[in-house]
Amino acid sequence: MGSVHWEDSQQPDPAHEDPVPPDMSSPIQEDIEVSDQTEGPANQKVESPAFRQALKAFQGTTGLAVTGIFDPATREAMNSPRCGVPDQGWHPGVLSPQATMEDKGKRAALDQGLVRTKRFSHHLLLHRLKARGRRREVADGNVSGLVFRKRSLKWRLLREGYSSQLTVLEQRAAIHLAFRLWSEVTPIDFEEDLSSPVSLLDITLAFGTGRHLGCSQAFDGGGQEVAHSWQNRAVHFDDDEHFTAANSNQGISLLRVAVHEVGHVLGLPHMYGKGSMMQPNYSTEGRDTELAWSDRKAIQQLYGVCEGPFDTVFDWVRRERGEDGRLVLGFNTYFFRGTWYWMYENRNNRTRYGDPLPIYSGWHGIPTARIDAFVHVCTWSKDAAYFFKGTRYWRYDNFNDRAYTEDSQGVRYPKLISSGFPGISGPINAAFFDRRDQCIYFFKQHQVTAFNVNTNMRVPGYPRRITDVFPALFPGDHPVSNLDAVYYSDTHRATFLFKGLYFWRVVNRHDRLSNPHLPYNGLQAKRKVSEQWLDICNVHPSAMA
């Protein structure tokens, strides 16, 4: 079985008649307690400057108060449940036969009951602290490791490795969600495969105890190591641990552990950023499982960011009553692609956790795929939202959260575009409502047509070429035709034209006040959509299970 080559990159410890054990926490508490009660040189070593410096480094990376004192909080952090991947200099690769034999020797020593005298408790703790301190170089620097070359990965929870503590349904649900969390921020599809030969799977997962599944690294029973993983291959969970389902407030969350170990399989090392799912110790406090910003950026260093065209983009504006009873406007931003939609949280500059979702689950009564455009006519006298697809359009009922079949005026839906908007024929590429002149702009191939909602007529002089109505500020930098979406953003106070992987921002009033020579509706230089709106990623349909 291939596995990560976790080498130790620090200078070797000085030769000693009783060597310091590698990255072990089980003897720490016992040895330190004895040492604290001992007077003389052994106790003075615990107070050494090197010890305090290493202890402060550990406390800093784990979010503890940096005191240099081995207090109960520090002891608890060192002895909390943790990942079996060592906190050592991280190097990608495959575990060599020599390293495998060393691991077996370490485990055999534990099985025989390793005894350390009190005078080495200081060295033991210092060794562990230094190892953890070295991990900051990985967390704070560049992340590099073996990555999967393909972007569609198949996984399976092996039948011979089911947990004895949770139902199969609970196990699969937690692991499904773990893969989905990574899929929501990377251009990777994770597909559960229940039928292919195991040799054709990309990632396998299983539970075991002690010596398990032919693995070279045995588990230690309940209390410390809860799981381990091999890059680009497998994840093993220690079934002696008290794993619990995602909705439980007890024990160790299988979901959190699975997210962490899948991160290792994808190539991530341990990281110490605040809230990171890749911290080596599993916190039992708080049940929220979300990828931190540092997790997102680290995995994207390995696999890149998500990109792709959209069918339509819009702000969903709604009227609401504030706490003082006054009428206020609220909005959410949505991106539609294929059969999926995302809500974008502008204040956090990311999509909502748990997205994308199927269109049918959130927008009732409209077509469930390939929406051409959305328009929200919002004036003092009008408030109507429309979805367009093909030659027809649907009016949406904001309050009842579904498409009208018949509105309060007796108008039945869906309707032909040419019937509701005289002079406009479908299908269209994109559309948006311009509050400045209260016109809907319909885009079709290389032309745009303005439609006045107050007169219910096409504006004279239209259709016109898009390049004339929205002139490029930089020659040759223009989408020209067949736009994907046009969107006025209430967050940015600007209109954007989308095509393929790029967008163009339309010159607005503020721009022209700063530079009166800018043309009305001029297009700024194109930019990548993924630079402005982050982590809008597809997920495999099996992730919805």
Instruction: Give domain status of residue 67, yes or no.
Output: yes
Tell me how far apart the alpha carbons of residues 228 and 215 are, in angstroms, rounded to a whole number: 10
The two three-digit tokens of residue 174, written as one number = 């937690």
For residue 180, being part of any structural domain is answered with yes
10 Å CB burial of residue 454 (0-12, 13-18, 19+) is exposed
Give CA 28 to chain center in angstroms: 36
Helix (H) or strand (E) holding 385: strand 383-389
Say which DSSP state 11 is in: P
Residue 406 has pLDDT above 60, yes or no: yes
CATH code, 336:
2.110.10.10
Q: Which domain holds residue 361?
A: 312-532
What's the maximum distance between 2 C-alpha atoms anywhere in the chain?
97
Q: What's the domain count of the chain? A: 3
pLDDT at 471: 98
* Ligand-binding site membership of 236 (annotated): yes
Q: Which residues are catalytic?
A: 261
pLDDT tens, position by position, 246-266? 777 778 899 999 999 999 999
Q: Judge if 87 and 38 occupy the same domain.
A: yes
Q: Residue 469, class by beta-carbon neighbours within 10 Å (0-12 exposed, 13-18 middle, 19+ buried)?
A: middle
Contact 542, 172 (CB under 8 A): no
Q: Is residue 413 part of a domain?
A: yes
Does residue 112 sit in the same domain as residue 227?
A: no
221 belongs to an annotated ligand binding site? yes
| 278 in a labelled binding site | yes
pLDDT of residue 156: 96
Q: Which residue has better confidence, 478 or 41?
A: 478
Is 258 annotated in a binding site? The answer is: no
Do 354 and 250 lie in one domain? The reply is: no
Q: How far apart are CA 55 and CA 51, in angstroms?
A: 6
Residue 479 lies in a domain: yes
Query: Of 268, 256, 261, 262, which Cα lies nearest the Cα of 301?
Result: 268
324 is in an annotated binding site: yes
Same domain, 459 and 503: yes
The torsion angle over the Cα atoms of residues 472, 478, 482 and 484, rounded to 10 degrees, is -100
Same domain (yes/no): 480, 412 = yes
CA dihedral 523, 528, 534, 537 (to 10 degrees): 120
CB-CB neighbours of 498 under 10 Å: 22
Closest of 175, 187, 127, 140 to residue 545, by C-alpha: 175
| Token representation of residue 233 | 């291959």
Q: What is the CATH number of the domain that holds 164?
A: 3.40.390.10
Domain stop point among 140, 164, 195:
140
Sheet holding 485-489, edge to edge: 485-489, 494-499, 502-505, 527-528
336 and 384 both lie in a single domain? yes
DSSP 8-state class, residue 526: P
Collapsed DSSP state (helix, strand, coil) of residue 541: helix
What is the distance between the alpha carbons of residues 445 and 443, in angstroms, rounded to a whole number? 7
Domain check: are 375 and 287 in the same one?
no
Q: Is 202 annotated for ligand binding?
A: yes
Residues 259 and 320 in one domain: no
The answer to which of 57-61, 324-328, 359-363, 519-523 has the lowest mean pLDDT is: 57-61
Global pTM value: 0.74
State the average pLDDT over residues 78-86: 50
Query: Alpha-carbon dihedral of residues 484, 488, 489, 494, nearest 10 degrees?
Result: 110
Q: Does 117 or 154 have the greater pLDDT score?
A: 154
Q: Any binding-site annotation on 91?
A: no
Does 544 map to a domain? no
β-partners of residue 253 are 244
283 and 317 both lie in a single domain: no
Is 270 annotated as a binding-site member?
yes
Residue pair 203/235 in contact by the 8 Å Cβ criterion? yes
How confident is residue 78, by pLDDT bands cut at 50, 70 and 90? Answer: low
Question: From the CB of residue 288, how many other CB atoms can be counted at a distance below 10 Å?
Answer: 8
378 token code pair: 């919002």
Q: Encode pLDDT of 430-446 as tens digits.
A: 999 999 999 999 999 99
Q: Please say which residue of 283, 305, 327 terminates a domain.
A: 305
- Cβ(268)–Cβ(300) below 8 Å: no
Confidence band (pLDDT; 50, 70, 90) for 38? very low
Q: Which of 265, 290, 305 marks a domain boundary?
A: 305
Task: Report the distance separating Cα 249 and Cα 287, nearest Å.
Answer: 7
285 and 324 belong to one structural domain: no
Q: Which helix (H) or strand (E) holds 350?
A: strand 350-351
Residue 289, pLDDT score: 81
Question: 453: closest CA among 443, 465, 441?
Answer: 441
Most confident of the following: 136-150, 204-218, 275-289: 204-218
pLDDT number for residue 58: 65
Q: Does any domain span residue 527?
A: yes
Instruction: DSSP for 159-198, please give it.
Output: GGG--SSS-HHHHHHHHHHHHHHHHTTSS-EEEE-SSS-G
- The rounded percent of the chain whose pLDDT value lies above 90 is 56
- 283 and 339 share one domain: no
**Both structure tokens of 250:** 């007890």
State the average pLDDT for the chain.
79
Q: Are 349 and 445 members of one domain?
A: yes
Residue 52 in any domain: the answer is: yes
Q: Binding site annotation covers 407?
A: no
Please tell me the distance from the alpha carbon of residue 175 to that of residue 181, in angstroms, as a whole number: 10
CA distance 493 to 474: 22
Unique residue bearing structure tokens 């990942």: 83
364 belongs to an annotated ligand binding site: no
Alpha-carbon distance of 451 to 502, in angstroms, equals 26
Domain assignment present for 493 = yes
